[in-house]
């Protein structure tokens, strides 16, 4: 365990060119050494290397260091040997051929007569983008074409693999209805191991049966109509403050998505955790917390390998920083409640959870409170930021829709220059039907969360397909919206479609941006009110221009624009 293990390995990792050349000069083109605790023969020179490379499966086989196998996993192309390697390599070639085929089909569409009417969904996407003066990217078109081909080839239910587990992907209103209403009988919530590890077993998403029902009932009290009425002025104040900053940026513009995330984070801190801005720390501390959430979110869906620099490791490191900051606020909240300083007015979700433990005579579980608070902040700002960014995108791309929004505001007396007589409240917000339709149409085209995870509790049949016990099931929200028969011209942004009544049974599971069944989004009413206030304030105070045109959207794990949506905001003076 002396020089051969430590010395040679150290020099190898440093990889100095002089070290390698000195070894060749001293020992020749073939010599013995030790690397990572194993005897190793180092080979160089064309003839020697030729014998090794052409001797695959006869003389040698692929064998990477153990650390590479642990980090990359045993199911990678590098780790596969023999027939599995051949199959995987063949699959990669087939994928490349498929991409070439997709690019060929898309290129034909792009070079067809631009004046011709669109004949299929892909042509409609290209046609709509060109109407807006934007040439759609090949990456975006390939993804849409790929999903269409998967649906066309395999239907609305098909098997795949995700995070090393057999998974069934489900879409379509009837199929999704069976999954969502089959909670506890056919399926149960089962997020990937990395999500369970990072968010923790004490959060609502990972609870089951009576524990989930009880916790959800407590948190729902924070989203009652009475509570939402209390939140309206807080949301209006925060949105107004942010819009003033955006307008002050002038000609240089700003990146919308990061700014919206900061706005939604402040709102979630105040409303869900009851943390006022002066208690949250200075701007740098707030930015540090926002960045920690971004790091945690980026690594939420990762391989469940906890080693330095892995996604799971980075996600847990960010989560620990968040927990440390949140714990300070929780302890301050508990002290305030015991002193009866925070017992008046509306109760935030964190306060309700603390009081629920006291009512049941339970000892406060700080770890569970930190996990619940982290989940509330994650769900309360990540998804709403995605939806609000999409609203800015669509209203910026479709000025006639923004015009109709302002006409509705004018009809309700909300577009006058003075803000003295047009304060928002729940009654006024509920009257804004068209704005509600704009939000619904935005969530139909760009649902912030693309789907949900379940696991089969028993083997059952779904639309003629057998789903084995223990397999993962993903119900797709975005695909279900894409194939819903109740919507015509599905690629078109048309809020008026929601002004028309749909049969209740037909539309219930054709439009599911908040999921459904026992595990539907606990804060969906809060999200609707928040997005309405955001749209109202945006429309009556701002005009804006998207500097890069229609953005390419990506999911990781929520939907967001890859360019962060650069835009320039100017004052709207109330004239339509």
- DSSP lists the bridge partners of residue 424 as none
Highest mean pLDDT among 5-19, 22-36, 71-85, 239-253: 239-253
Residues near 324 by Cβ (< 8 Å), separated by ≥ 6?
Answer: none
- What pLDDT shows up at residue 420? 43
- What does the alpha-carbon distance between residue 565 and residue 548 come to, in Å, rounded to a whole number? 7
Domain extent listing, the chain:
3-60, 83-154, 176-571
In whole angstroms, how far apart are CA 479 and each of 103, 131, 144, 437, 443? 22, 25, 11, 20, 13
- What pLDDT shows up at residue 41? 92
Give pLDDT tens digits for 204-263.
Answer: 888 888 888 888 888 888 899 999 999 999 999 999 999 999 999 988 899 999 999 999
- What does the alpha-carbon distance between residue 374 and residue 273 come to, in Å, rounded to a whole number? 10
pLDDT at 562 over 50: yes
Q: Rounded to an integer, what is the distance from CA 551 to the centroid of its chain?
A: 16
pLDDT at 14 over 60: no
- What does the alpha-carbon distance between residue 435 and residue 441 come to, in Å, rounded to a whole number? 10
pTM: 0.75
- What pLDDT shows up at residue 536? 96
- What pLDDT shows up at residue 153? 82
pLDDT at 22 over 90: no
Of 408 and 58, the structure prediction assigns the larger pLDDT to 408
pLDDT at 31 over 80: yes
- What pLDDT shows up at residue 126? 45
pLDDT at 86 over 80: no
Class of domain 176-571 as given by CATH = mainly alpha
Of 436 and 126, the structure prediction assigns the larger pLDDT to 436
- What pLDDT shows up at residue 458? 96
First and final CA of the chain: distance in angstroms? 81
27 pLDDT band, cuts 50/70/90, is: confident
- What pLDDT shows up at residue 337? 82
1 pLDDT band, cuts 50/70/90, is: very low
- DSSP lists the bridge partners of residue 60 as 56
Q: Which pair of tokens denotes residue 188?
A: 């149960």
Residues near 212 by Cβ (< 8 Å), separated by ≥ 6?
Answer: 204, 518, 519
Highest mean pLDDT among 128-132, 368-372, 502-506: 368-372
DSSP state of 204: G
- What pLDDT shows up at residue 124? 46
In whole angstroms, how far apart are CA 41 and each of 30, 52, 79, 219, 494? 7, 11, 20, 63, 67
Give residue 69's region: left, alpha or beta (phi > 0; psi -120 to 50). Answer: alpha
Please provide residue 255's backbone torsions phi and psi, each rounded to the nearest 5 degrees.
Answer: -90, 115
Give percent of the chain above pLDDT 90: 42
- What pLDDT shows up at residue 161? 84
Average pLDDT over residues 439-463: 95
Q: What is the mean pLDDT of the chain?
A: 83
DSSP state of 489: S
pLDDT at 15 over 60: no
Q: Give the containing element (helix H, strand E) for 334.
A: helix 311-338
Please provide residue 415's backbone torsions phi and psi, each rounded to the nearest 5 degrees.
Answer: -120, 15
Give pLDDT tens digits for 158-194.
Answer: 998 887 789 999 999 999 999 999 999 999 998 888 8
Residues near 18 by Cβ (< 8 Å), separated by ≥ 6?
Answer: none
Give pLDDT tens digits for 90-130.
Answer: 767 766 666 666 566 656 655 555 545 544 545 544 444 44
In whole angstroms, how far apart are CA 539 and each of 41, 404, 409, 565, 572? 70, 10, 9, 18, 8
pLDDT at 142 over 80: no
Give percent of the chain above pLDDT 70: 79
- What pLDDT shows up at residue 233? 93
- What pLDDT shows up at residue 505? 56
- What pLDDT shows up at residue 134? 47
Give pLDDT tens digits for 259-318.
Answer: 999 999 999 999 988 886 554 555 677 788 888 988 998 888 888 888 887 889 999 999
- What does the alpha-carbon distance between residue 287 and residue 283 come to, in Å, rounded to a whole number? 6
Q: Which pair of tokens denotes residue 367?
A: 């770890």
Average pLDDT over residues 530-537: 97
- What does the alpha-carbon distance between residue 445 and residue 484 come to, in Å, rounded to a whole number? 12
Of 320 and 344, the structure prediction assigns the larger pLDDT to 320
- What pLDDT shows up at residue 338? 80
- What pLDDT shows up at residue 229? 93
Of 99 and 199, the structure prediction assigns the larger pLDDT to 199
Is residue 521 annotated as involved in ligand binding?
Answer: yes
477 pLDDT band, cuts 50/70/90, is: very high
pLDDT at 12 over 90: no
């Amino acid at each position: 365990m002396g020089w051969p293990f430590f010395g040679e390995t150290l020099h190898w990792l440093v990889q100095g060119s002089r070290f390698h050349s000195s070894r060749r000069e001293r020992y020749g083109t073939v010599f013995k050494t030790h690397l990572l605790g194993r005897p190793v023969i180092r080979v160089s020179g064309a003839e020697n290397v030729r014998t090794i490379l052409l001797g695959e499966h006869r003389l040698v086989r692929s064998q990477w260091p153990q650390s590479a196998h642990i980090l990359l996993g045993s199911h990678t192309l590098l780790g596969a040997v023999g027939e599995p390697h051949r199959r995987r390599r063949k699959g990669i070639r087939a994928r490349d051929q498929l991409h070439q085929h997709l690019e060929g089909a898309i290129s034909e569409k792009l070079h067809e007569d631009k004046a011709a009417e669109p004949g299929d969904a892909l042509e409609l996407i290209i046609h709509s983008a060109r109407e807006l003066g934007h040439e759609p990217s090949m990456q975006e078109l390939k993804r849409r074409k790929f999903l269409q081909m998967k649906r066309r080839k395999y239907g609305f239910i098909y098997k795949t693999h995700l995070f090393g587990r057999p998974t069934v992907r489900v879409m379509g209103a009837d199929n999704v209805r069976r999954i969502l209403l089959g909670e506890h009988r056919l399926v149960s919530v089962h997020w990937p191991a990395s999500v369970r590890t990072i968010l923790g077993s004490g959060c609502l998403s990972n609870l089951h049966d009576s524990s989930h029902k009880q916790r959800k009932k407590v948190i729902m009290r924070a989203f009652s109509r009475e509570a939402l009425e209390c939140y309206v002025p807080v949301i209006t104040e925060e949105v107004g403050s942010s819009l003033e900053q955006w307008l002050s940026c002038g000609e240089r513009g700003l990146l919308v998505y990061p700014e919206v995330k900061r706005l939604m984070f402040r709102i979630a801190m105040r409303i869900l955790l009851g943390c006022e801005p002066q208690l949250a720390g200075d701007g740098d501390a707030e930015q540090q917390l926002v960045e920690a959430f971004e790091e945690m979110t980026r690594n939420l869906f990762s391989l469940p390998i906890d080693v330095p620099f892995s996604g799971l490791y980075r996600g847990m490191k960010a989560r620990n920083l968040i927990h440390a900051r949140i714990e300070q606020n929780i302890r301050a909240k508990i002290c305030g409640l015991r002193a009866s300083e925070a017992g008046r007015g509306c109760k935030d979700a964190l306060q309700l959870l603390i009081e629920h433990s006291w009512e049941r005579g339970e000892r406060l579980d700080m770890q569970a409170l930190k996990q619940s608070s982290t989940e509330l902040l994650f769900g309360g700002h990540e998804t709403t930021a995605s939806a609000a960014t999409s609203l800015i995108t669509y209203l910026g791309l479709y000025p006639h829709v923004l015009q109709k929004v302002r006409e509705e505001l004018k009809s309700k007396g909300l577009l006058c220059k003075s803000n003295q007589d047009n304060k928002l409240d729940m009654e006024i917000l509920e009257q804004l039907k068209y704005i509600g339709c704009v939000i619904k149409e935005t969530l139909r085209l760009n649902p912030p969360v693309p789907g949900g995870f379940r696991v089969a509790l028993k083997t059952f049949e779904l639309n003629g397909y057998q789903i084995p016990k223990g397999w993962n099931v993903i119900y797709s929200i975005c695909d279900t919206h894409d194939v819903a028969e109740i919507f015509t011209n599905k690629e078109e942004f048309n809020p008026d479609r929601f002004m028309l009544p749909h049969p209740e049974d037909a539309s219930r599971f054709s439009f599911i941006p908040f999921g459904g069944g026992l595990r539907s989004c606990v804060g969906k009413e809060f999200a609707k009110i928040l997005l309405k206030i955001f749209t109202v304030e945006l429309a009556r105070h701002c005009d804006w221009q998207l500097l890069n045109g229609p953005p390419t959207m990506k999911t990781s794990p929520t939907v967001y624009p890859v360019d962060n949506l650069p835009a320039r905001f100017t004052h709207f003076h109330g004239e339509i």
